[in-house]
Amino acid sequence: MVKRQWPKPTELAELMRFKKPTLNPTDRRLEKALTIADLRAIAKRRTPKAPFEYTEGAAEGELSLARARQAFEDVEFHPSILRNVPEVDTSREVLGGPSALPFGIAPTGFTRMMQTEGEVAGAGAAGAAGIPFTLSTLGTTSIEDVRAANPTGRNWFQLYVMRKREISYGLVERAASAGFDTLFFTVDTPVAGARLRDKRNGFSIPPQLTPTTVLNALPRPAWWINFLTTPKLEFASLTSTGGSTVAELLDAAMDPTISFDDLDTIRGMWGGKIVVKGVQTLEDAKLLADRGVDGIVLSNHGGRQLDRAPIPFHLLPVVAREVGTDLEVHLDTGIMSGADIVASIALGARFTLIGRAYLYGLMAGGRRGVDKTIEILRNEIVRTMKLLEVATLDELGPQHVTQLARLVPIARPVTDAAEAATASKPKAVRTPRSAPAAKAAASRALAP
């Protein structure tokens, strides 16, 4: 029998240490967010359906985005033991400058649509955290205002080559004058992808007041108050939108005739680092390495352009192996945790970029929400590195990660006559006899 006694007052006092209440409602919401998924849930409650689903959605059946996220879930880590790693260093030299963490903020369009602080919040939070911020051509804050929000940090500019080339050339000159150090030359948007959620929601730039949007606004008054009482929502780099849908805007502005000649022209105008964003094959990565660009971003535009596009995370190991010594290999699409970032670095990425994860934080709490996003990812990176027992990012390698196979190609496409002749010969089919053999076979099947 357990002996019972009256509780002592001193022991009760120890149990009755109440937490000081958080009076600010934004801080109170953000305190409860432990993951990016938590920030997403807050963002969904506070943001009207059309802008939230613009952020959330992708092209057509949204298979590219779902597969990209699944690829990160299908990761097996291999931790070391007894390595004595009390502290870890998350810093990285990237494109000729420092970053306190192995990720930066990706370019996102229409950002003030999600929350009125927009790019100013993102740039300020990035500067405070010591990571780069990337402004989109379709941003809603000017190049100069982003510089003012992040005066001592690293600012990058993402460039679309538009039908009216003089617009793109002018943006390049303004970014250079404002001290942006890197240009992201984007190649995966010759025309707009079919973003069906936007069509179904009647999403336009700027948003239109309709009975549906007014009804949806009733439980979200803060968003509409901010929208109606702050400067007009418009593109900082484009002069007119005319209430267009996103697809109409992109198709009117972008040019499907973009070519390597345009890359050479822009490169001749730009004195800083130049990175090609939207690379989706090993062959194109090799072409760009031969042309001497400073880096590439393996990306399918967050699944928002060509549905069923290649999964960037699956391409990463072979691309990093083949061209990683010639240029920097960066990665985006589907990153939702610090563990995703650690896995990417281990498989050869020099750097990663976050888009939706940043926007969820922005919608959840403006600048403080973006700070929270960075804090969550930083803590997850540090914890994952400590559990793997690596002290620096450079210690991470393929030995720490296995990509588990789901989508295994049935056959590779035939590219030349010799390969066609070889492919026509009958081949014996063997079944791996052990788990290591099966894992090796799956790894070979994933290679392009």
Report the distance separating Cα 274 and Cα 254, nearest Å: 20
User: Alpha-carbon dihedral of residues 19, 20, 23, 26, nearest 10 degrees?
Assistant: -50
Is the separation of the CB atoms in 236 and 143 below 8 Å? yes
Measured CA to CA in angstroms, residue 122 lies from 66, 107, 228, 367 at distances of 25, 10, 21, 7
Report the distance separating Cα 107 and Cα 123, nearest Å: 11
Secondary structure of 138-177 as H, E, C letters: CCCCCHHHHHHHCCCCCEEEEECCECCHHHHHHHHHHHHH
Q: Is 330 a catalytic residue?
A: no
Catalytic residue among 301, 314, 330, 400: 301
Cβ-defined contacts of 229-236 (< 8 Å, 24+)? 230/116, 232/206, 233/112, 233/113, 233/140, 233/205, 233/206, 233/207, 234/140, 234/206, 235/110, 235/138, 235/139, 235/140, 235/205, 236/139, 236/140, 236/141, 236/142, 236/143, 236/145
Sign of CA dihedral 214, 216, 219, 224: negative
Task: Write out the two tokens for 268.
Answer: 């001749």
Catalytic residue list: 301
